[in-house]
């Protein structure tokens, strides 16, 4: 598989962002804590299809007839213009005929003693950001970390670079869903916010040609104390501001072309299907130490984003503005680390989810042997007269009718060899991003089980 990648570079860090050491960052796997499906937490989100952002053939290296990966945005100015143009807002009007897809986010750092803490947001169609989750950094193999007062990031070996693993953050989403990368702003002047929203949603500001999200700090207080929290939020210490430094809105997942004259066997078709199921768009955020020393020599220059904006026609010749008064500029020569954003098509680690440790109880329902995961049938009785759980009774009735429809000799053999498995939770597929099924699941055979766990 040889598909193009997109790459842009941030030559100077915004002056108003102070690097911080990551602390208490959650596991890189999106299942712990459970927030993987960002957009699924919002009821209005529906399935999406492709967003159309034309890319330069000189950058993509692809042919005009092939599907292209969407370009990333990786400077504050570029991301702000894209946000205002609607390219970093989710598009619900795109056709819903496309299936869900996977994105993976990888934040690579080297041996810098300070690491900028990055946050990932999902942005809805109205441009409102949600979640503000920290992206866990990883070290490339061979690098020696020097993160003061923090837990050492995990290291990437050569195998990890070839595919998406548990070290990466994986999102299940749809084409057209928008994600942005943010840095927290220190010493932000909250007095310039004229009016706060009563619904608690973040406020979007545009200052100095850059987009800033301001929100109330999350509290562990119960919902009953919303009034108290609203009063407390009046203090500046209960608010926080984030600078948008980049983002990405994926197109429909590209597919490898195949010849119409080729006819594969059923086995090869199954393998091709599994390969497509493992496809993922990987967004790599890299702190580049080598670029840092080069860009430091350009004293007093603006952030140079002309080269990285070339793939996007309307962003060409964009020049950033100097920071406004509320920004804590400090030493303008201390430009900090350089951020590089790459997007490529790769695969998930195919290692299947191991479900061998699941516990099942052997029971007979409707005359058929079953393996039931504990908790499938609640202990409290739905029917106080007969004392039978209604869900269990439905399973028994359905299996009894199925038994009656089978020839006696077939029923006897199947009852000896084929129990029915009933799960309270059903997960299968690659270990790094398993599919969590909420309904019935049919598998086509033993080979499928080997590949999917």
pLDDT digits (tens), the chain, 453 positions: 434 444 444 333 333 333 332 323 333 333 333 333 343 444 333 333 333 333 332 233 333 334 688 999 988 888 999 999 999 999 887 646 678 888 999 998 876 555 778 899 999 999 999 989 998 888 775 444 333 334 455 655 555 567 888 888 888 889 999 999 998 888 787 777 777 666 778 889 888 888 999 988 876 544 445 555 555 544 445 888 899 989 999 988 876 544 344 444 555 555 555 567 788 899 998 876 555 444 444 444 433 333 333 344 444 343 433 333 333 333 322 333 557 889 998 888 778 787 788 889 999 999 999 999 888 887 666 666 666 788 888 889 999 998 999 999 999 999 988 888 888 877 877 787 777 766 666 666 677 777 766
> Is residue 173 a contact partner of residue 103, using CB atoms and an 8 Å limit?
yes
Describe the chain by its helix, strand, coil percentages, rounded to 5.
20, 25, 55
CA distance 85 to 77: 12
CA distance 201 to 150: 31
Domain ranges in the chain?
6-347, 361-452
Please give the pLDDT value at position 288: 63
Phi, psi of 399 (to 5 degrees): -70, -35
Q: 186, exposed or middle or buried, with CB in 10 Å at 0-12, 13-18, 19+? A: middle
CA distance 394 to 398: 6
Angle at alpha carbon of residue 379, lines to 377 and 385, rounded to 5°:
100
Please give the pLDDT value at position 270: 54
Sign of CA dihedral 164, 165, 166, 167: negative
């Amino acid at each position: 598989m040889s598909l193009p990648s997109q790459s842009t570079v941030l030559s100077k860090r915004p002056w108003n962002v102070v690097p911080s050491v990551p602390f208490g960052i959650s596991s890189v796997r999106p299942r712990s804590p459970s927030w993987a499906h960002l957009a699924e937490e919002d009821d209005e989100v529906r399935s999406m299809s492709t967003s159309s952002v034309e890319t330069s053939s000189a950058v993509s290296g692809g042919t005009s007839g092939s599907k292209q990966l969407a370009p990333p945005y990786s400077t504050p100015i570029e991301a702000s213009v894209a946000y205002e143009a609607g390219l970093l807002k989710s598009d619900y009007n795109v056709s819903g005929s496309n299936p869900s897809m996977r994105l993976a986010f990888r934040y690579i750092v080297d041996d810098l003693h300070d690491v900028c803490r990055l946050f990932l947001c999902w942005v809805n169609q109205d441009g409102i950001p949600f979640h503000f989750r920290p992206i866990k950094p990883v070290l490339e193999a061979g690098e020696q970390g020097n993160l003061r007062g923090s837990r050492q990031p995990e290291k990437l070996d050569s195998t990890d670079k070839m595919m998406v693993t548990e070290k990466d953050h994986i999102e299940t989403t749809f084409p057209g869903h928008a994600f942005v990368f943010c840095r927290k702003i220190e010493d932000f002047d909250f007095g310039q916010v004229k009016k706060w929203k009563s619904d608690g949603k973040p406020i979007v500001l545009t200052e100095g040609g850059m987009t800033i999200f301001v929100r109330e700090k999350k509290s562990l207080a119960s919902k009953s104390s919303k009034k108290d929290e609203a009063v407390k939020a009046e203090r500046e210490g209960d608010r926080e501001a984030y600078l948008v430094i980049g983002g990405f809105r994926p197109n429909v997942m590209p597919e490898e072309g195949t010849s119409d004259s080729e006819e594969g066997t059923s086995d090869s078709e199954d393998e091709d299907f599994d390969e497509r199921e493992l496809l993922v768009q990987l967004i790599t955020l890299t702190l580049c130490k080598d670029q840092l020393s080069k860009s430091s020599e350009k004293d007093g220059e603006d952030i140079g984003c002309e080269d990285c904006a070339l793939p996007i026609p309307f962003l060409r010749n964009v020049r950033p503005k100097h920071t406004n008064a509320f920004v804590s500029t400090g030493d303008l020569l201390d430009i900090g680390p350089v951020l590089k954003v790459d997007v490529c098509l790769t695969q998930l680690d195919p290692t299947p989810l191991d479900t061998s440790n699941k516990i099942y109880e052997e029971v007979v329902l409707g005359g058929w042997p079953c393996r039931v995961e504990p908790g499938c049938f609640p202990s409290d009785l739905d029917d106080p007269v007969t004392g039978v759980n209604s869900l269990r009774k439905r399973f028994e009735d359905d299996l009894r009718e199925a038994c009656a429809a089978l020839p006696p000799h077939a029923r006897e053999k199947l009852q000896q060899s084929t129990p029915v498995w009933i799960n309270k939770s059903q997960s299968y597929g690659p270990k790094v991003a398993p599919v969590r099924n909420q309904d019935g699941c049919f598998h086509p055979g033993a080979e499928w089980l080997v590949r999917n766990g």
